[in-house]
Amino acid sequence: MTFLEAKPALLVLADGSVYRGWSFGAAGTILGEVVFNTGMTGYQEVLTDPSYRGQIVTFTYPELGNTGVNPDDDESPHPQVSGVIARNICPLPSNWRATQSLPSYLENHGIPGIYGIDTRALTRKIRSLGAMNGAISSDILDADELLRQLQTVPAMEGLNLVRDVTTAAVYEWTEASNPIWAVSPPAASAHEPPLTVVAIDFGIKRNILRRLASHGCRVIVVPVTTSPETILSYTPDGIFLSNGPGDPAAVAEAPALIRALLNHRLPTFGICMGHQILGLSLGGKTFKLKFGHRGLNQPCGLQRQVEITSQNHGFALDADSLDTSQVTITHLNLNDRTVAGIEHKQLPLFSVQYHPEASPGPHDADYLFQKFVETMRQHRQKSLQKTF
């Protein structure tokens, strides 16, 4: 692709606003929820994060593609976003790790993009009106027709997208983070036999699996439809609840499964969708945020200590819905004071709305993996003491 060949493309939002730009990636038309991500790096990890399923992502960073793409930075086997909106695109990457340019990668995977868009104006619109459905197209350049097609697209609220991304078959993950990128000393030899974690896959990112493996865990990833009996047959030391796309309240199969597991008092750690589903299983409620939190510099904490975190979510737990005799709020998002972390008062359960695995983003919260490991270690010791 060269820019001389660039074809016109159209972006139409459900409120009727029209933006004209140029096509990159795959040709065609795509409809989805238009959201924005403010990260300055990590476009490939964002594109391949299954939590973005069904969404057209606007990148506020003004140029995408400079470092190309490479197989090691994929968070899942292929891009998951529906479409991409950019201010500018670099078609000729310059990076020792790059194996392909961003436009050709998206083209190969059938993902349409539009560039030449005033992403600052678009982001301000989404901030003031809220995330809304939109269409990008390189073959229908008639805004009214795209607007008509948009009427058929369901709202994100109420959508169960987990079934599209959960693993079809159980698999085991053992690969730790590449030591080149190590953020904390590997603890793999510390636990004998290794701690077994069953990860319930709502759309898991690979870096979560790598961080669990780096902290000494053997991870068994199971589909969301797995029965509690099958999960317990792996004799897990802990349960991990993964990130994932869509509305957490629409994942009808989850709360009964999680409640059945909670009866066994196993250490449980949830990230993002996993955090929301844990909260729902404990009787809480979630709600849709106006425009969500998507970026790499979201401050979270409670008092005196702030973690700068990676985030990607459109829903949050409603603080007032949480039963305070059971649940403590451990972290707030300090931008809007929504719930960012919870812990159970009696059971070894905790979860965060943000992404301690980063990829992309800062590593401030990597200690949570250590905390999970420590909780499992203590639980194992207690169980052994009971046995003897």
Ligand X SMILES: NC(=O)CC[C@H](N)C(=O)O
Adjacency order of strands within the sheet including 268-271: 171-173, 217-223, 195-201, 238-241, 268-271, 349-352, 339-344, 327-333, 286-301, 306-317
Min dist CB 35 to ligand X, Å, is 9
For residue 151, the one-letter residue type is: Q
Residue 314 contacts ligand X per CB under 6 A: yes
Which regions of the chain does DSSP assign to beta strands (E)? 8-13, 18-25, 29-37, 55-59, 63-64, 83-86, 88-89, 112-115, 132-137, 171-173, 195-201, 217-223, 238-241, 268-271, 286-301, 306-317, 327-333, 339-344, 349-352
Residue 281 contacts ligand X per CB under 6 A: no
Which of 33, 45, 75, 357 is labelled catalytic? 357
The Cα–Cα gap between 344 and 259 comes to 13
Residue 108 annotated as lining a ligand binding site: no
What is the Cα 94 distance to its own chain's centre?
A: 27
313 is catalytic: no
Nearest CA to 140 out of 114, 105, 110 is that of 114
Please answer whether residues 212 and 243 qualify as being in contact, where contact means their C-beta atoms are separated by less than 8 angstroms.
no
Stretch of 26-34, 76-84, 143-151, 311-319 lying at the interface with ligand X (CB under 6 A): 311-319
272 is catalytic: yes
Residue 385 annotated as lining a ligand binding site: no
Complex with ligand X: residue 22 or 291, whichever CB lies closer: 291
> Which one among 312, 333, 359, 375 touches ligand X, defined by CB under 6 A?
312
CB atoms within 10 A of CB 241: 28
The Cα–Cα gap between 136 and 19 comes to 9
Q: Could you please report the per-residue DSSP string of 17-28?
A: -EEEEEEEEB-S
Stretch of 61-69, 239-247, 320-328, 366-374 lying at the interface with ligand X (CB under 6 A): 239-247
Min dist CB 248 to ligand X, Å, is 6
Residue 276 annotated as lining a ligand binding site: yes
Complex with ligand X: residue 65 or 314, whichever CB lies closer: 314
> Which one among 273, 277, 280, 373 touches ligand X, defined by CB under 6 A?
273
Min dist CB 53 to ligand X, Å, is 8
> For residues 42-61, which are near ligand X according to CB under 6 A?
51
Number of residues that bind ligand X (CB under 6 A): 12
Complex with ligand X: residue 112 or 244, whichever CB lies closer: 244
Min dist CB 291 to ligand X, Å, is 11
Give Cβ neighbours of residue 87 (< 8 Å, ≥ 6 apart): 59, 62, 63, 115, 116, 117, 118, 119
Residue 356 contacts ligand X per CB under 6 A: no
Complex with ligand X: residue 93 or 245, whichever CB lies closer: 245
Min dist CB 304 to ligand X, Å, is 27
Burial of 82 (0-12, 13-18, 19+ CB in 10 A): buried
Residue 151 annotated as lining a ligand binding site: no
The Cα–Cα gap between 123 and 58 comes to 8
> Which one among 211, 313, 331, 363 touches ligand X, defined by CB under 6 A?
313
Give Cβ neighbours of residue 283 (< 8 Å, ≥ 6 apart): 321, 322, 323, 326
Which of 217, 272, 293, 363 is labelled catalytic? 272
The Cα–Cα gap between 355 and 49 comes to 12
> For residues 242-271, which are near ligand X according to CB under 6 A?
243-246, 248
Stretch of 1-9, 181-189, 222-230, 308-316 lying at the interface with ligand X (CB under 6 A): 308-316
Min dist CB 109 to ligand X, Å, is 20
Min dist CB 157 to ligand X, Å, is 10
Helix then strand then coil, in percent of the chain rounded to 5, is 30, 30, 40
Which of 293, 313, 331, 355 is labelled catalytic? 355
357 is catalytic: yes
Residue 211 contacts ligand X per CB under 6 A: no
Q: From the annotation, which residues make up the binding site for L-glutamine?
A: 51, 244, 246, 273, 276, 312, 314-315
So which residues are the catalytic ones?
272, 355, 357
Q: From the annotation, which residues make up the binding site?
A: 51, 244, 246, 273, 276, 312, 314-315
